[in-house]
Amino acid sequence: MPKIDIEAVPHRTGCGYPPPFDRPCHSRVRRRLGDAGGLTDFGVNLLELAPGAWSSQRHWHSAEDEFIWVLEGEVTLIDNQGEHVLHAGDCATFARGDANGHHLVNRSSATVQVLEVGSRKPDEDACDYPDVDMHLPGRGKGFTHKDGTPYPARR
């Protein structure tokens, strides 16, 4: 069992959303722990949200399951049923194909750490964003408007 040196895992700050949908996620930080360990069937990320940061736009996946576990801090989960405060030790799941748009927002004054686990179905999975005019028809295919018109490629 190879131990992963979390501090040595490269991190990515921000997201790939087209403007202006990227703005609430500018300060989010992800470390792809699953990639660092050579996993290919599912992904594992360590997500850090500074105060005020969002994990993503509210979304749901057509073919990918998601699991989150709050490791440190307090974060607000927002989904179709409303707002739910999660504390360290709390977890939540989102089944593939369930149109329950969800995301995390850090409304606290401290950094939050969340473990994210998800299946990897890049050829099958589409992602819908119910609150904004954005759709992802599949990984690597680029974001589109809901009518299918592509957003300009990021530079």
Q: Which domains does the chain have, with CATH numbers?
A: 11-122 (2.60.120.10)
Question: Per-residue pLDDT for 29 more than 60?
Answer: yes
Q: CA–CA distance from 107 to each of 10, 15, 31 (Å)?
A: 26, 19, 21
CA 73 to chain centre: 17
Residue 1's pLDDT is what? 53
Residue 153's pLDDT is what? 78
**Residue range 92-112: mean pLDDT, rounded:** 97
The tens digit of pLDDT for each residue in 33-88 reads 999 999 999 999 999 999 999 999 999 999 999 999 999 999 999 999 999 999 99
Residue % of the chain over a pLDDT of 90: 89
Q: DSSP code of 96?
A: T
Question: Per-residue pLDDT for 122 more than 80?
Answer: no
Secondary structure element (H or E) that encloses residue 35, with its range: helix 33-36
How far, in Å, CA of 64 to CA of 52, rounded?
27
